[in-house]
């Protein structure tokens, strides 16, 4: 009887159409997630622009000239601003600031938050309770308001902007990593590692941490877009990146004040650059989440 059953099962498996993985991992991703691939292209474009900014720019992004508020044309592809600086070159160089601040604050915020989440989820008990409450407290303020107050008390500088943007990310990262650590902690392989006499630090770092990488990558991609937006808002309000760095948000603040009507290109291009950069990371982040974390699919 048992033998017959086994045979049945084997036959069933053979009848089912087996979907074989075709092509490379990248090829599959592009076929299954066309929107995510488009996001990937946008992110790649952002990175390339930032790396090759010196080559791509036609003018010095910070040098002023007498040709103020020139309309887009052959000399200045996207026009010039109120100080006669070439807008195209400034938008190109702005990608560096956006990417630098976005990446740095995302890495700092998610790594610190991730470690807190790992310790909190692994240790449990009072440590967990205490850090959970602390994260609750930090989440009581909107990201932008907390970053705004931080930036104001630290003073405007590149480093301070990165600190101000990374701190609000910490509780959000801690929460997600903690949840995934809690799920992994109870699995059999962790138990067997413990039974083999592995120390806590080794279990946490070697056995649990690598398995939180999926949610971690998803989280970091989503936060990258959010960080770029917060940087833009801070700089727009004059509390983020100080002059002379060409920051997209800062370009909008000067443009917004007086010249928008006379020179609409000052408003359109930096904002479009921010939107495309964030759109790209969001598209990519969504597709990565679907691929790496099936539980969150569609959310």
Partner 1 sequence: MRGYVTKRLVIAGITLLGMSMVIFVLMRLAPGNIVDILFESAGYVDQADKKQLERELGVDRPLAVQYARWVGEVMRGDLGKSYRYDMPAWKIIKPRLPVTLELAFLALVFSVLLGVPFGVLSAVQQDRPLDYVLRILSLAGLSMPSFWLGMVVILLFVRALGWMPSVTYVSPFVDLKANLWQFTIPALAVGYRSSALIMRITRSAMLEVLREDYIRTAWAKGQRKTLVVWRHALKNASLPVLTVVGIEFAFLIGGLVVTETVFNLPGVARYLVDAIQLRDYPVVQNLTMFITVVVVLANLAVDLLYAWADPRIKYGSA
Out of 23, 27, 142, 210, name the contact with partner 1 by CB under 8 A: 142
In whole angstroms, the minimum distance from the beta carbon of 275 to partner 1 comes to 5
Q: Residue 84: which region, alpha, beta or left (left: phi > 0; alpha: psi -120 to 50)?
A: left
| Nearest residue (CB) to partner 1, 102 versus 190 | 102
Judged by CB under 8 A, the residue of 27, 73, 210, 264 near partner 1 is 264
Q: At what angle do helices 213-236 and 158-166 cross, to 10 degrees?
A: 130
Contact with partner 1 (CB under 8 A): which of 26, 67, 256, 294? 256
Closest CB to partner 1 among 104 and 143? 143
Identify the residue among 274, 288, 290, 291 touching partner 1 (CB under 8 A): 274
Region from 19-27, 75-83, 119-127, 268-276 binding partner 1, contact rule CB under 8 A: 268-276
Residue choice 209, 233, 241, 287 for contact with partner 1 (CB under 8 A): 233
Task: Select from 137, 187, 205, 213 the one that contacts partner 1 (CB under 8 A).
Answer: 137
Tokens of 7: 């045979």
Nearest to 209 by CA among 165, 162, 177: 177
Stretch that binds partner 1, among 1-9, 98-106, 131-139, 197-205 (CB under 8 A): 131-139
Q: How far apart are CA 88 and CA 99, in angstroms?
A: 17
Answer yes or no: are the C-beta atoms of 151 and 239 closer than 8 Å.
yes
Which residues have CB under 8 Å from 46's CB, separation 6+? 95, 98, 99, 276, 277, 280
211, 217, 218, 223 alpha-carbon torsion, rounded to 10°:
140
* 134 binding partner 1? (CB under 8 A): yes
Neighbours of 212 (CB within 10 A): 22
**Position among 43, 143, 181, 219 found at the interface with partner 1 (CB under 8 A):** 143
Three-state DSSP state, 94: helix
Residues forming contacts to partner 1 in the complex (CB under 8 A) are: 35, 133-134, 136-138, 140-145, 148-150, 152-155, 225, 229, 232-233, 236-239, 249, 252, 256, 260-261, 264, 267-268, 271, 274-276, 278-279, 282-283, 286, 297-299
């Amino acid at each position: 009887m048992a033998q017959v059953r086994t045979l049945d099962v084997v036959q069933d498996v053979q009848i089912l159409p087996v979907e074989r993985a075709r092509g490379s991992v990248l090829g599959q991703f592009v076929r299954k997630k066309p929107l995510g691939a488009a996001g990937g292209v946008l992110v790649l474009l952002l990175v390339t622009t930032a790396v090759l900014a010196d080559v791509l720019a036609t003018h010095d992004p910070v040098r002023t000239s007498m040709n103020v508020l020139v309309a887009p044309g052959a000399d200045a592809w996207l026009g010039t601003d109120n100080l006669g600086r070439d807008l195209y070159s400034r938008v190109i160089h702005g990608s560096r600031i956006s990417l630098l601040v976005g990446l740095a604050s995302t890495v700092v915020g998610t790594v610190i938050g991730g470690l807190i989440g790992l310790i909190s989820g692994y240790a449990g008990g009072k440590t967990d309770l205490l850090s959970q409450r602390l994260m609750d407290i930090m989440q009581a303020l909107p990201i932008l308001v907390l970053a705004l107050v931080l930036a104001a008390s630290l003073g405007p500088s590149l480093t301070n902007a990165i600190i101000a943007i990374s701190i609000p990310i910490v509780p959000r990262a801690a929460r997600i990593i903690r949840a995934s650590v809690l799920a992994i902690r109870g699995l059999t392989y962790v138990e067997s590692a413990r039974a083999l006499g592995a120390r806590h630090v080794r279990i946490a770092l070697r056995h649990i941490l690598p398995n939180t990488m999926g949610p971690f990558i998803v989280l970091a991609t989503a936060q990258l877009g959010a960080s770029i937006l917060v940087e833009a808002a801070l700089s727009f309000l004059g509390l983020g990146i100080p002059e002379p760095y060409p920051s997209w948000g800062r370009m909008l603040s000067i443009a917004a004040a007086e010249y928008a009507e006379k020179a609409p290109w000052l408003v359109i291009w930096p904002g479009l650059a921010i939107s495309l950069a964030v759109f790209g990371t969001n598209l990519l982040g969504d597709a990565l989440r679907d691929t790496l974390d099936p539980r969150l699919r569609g959310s």
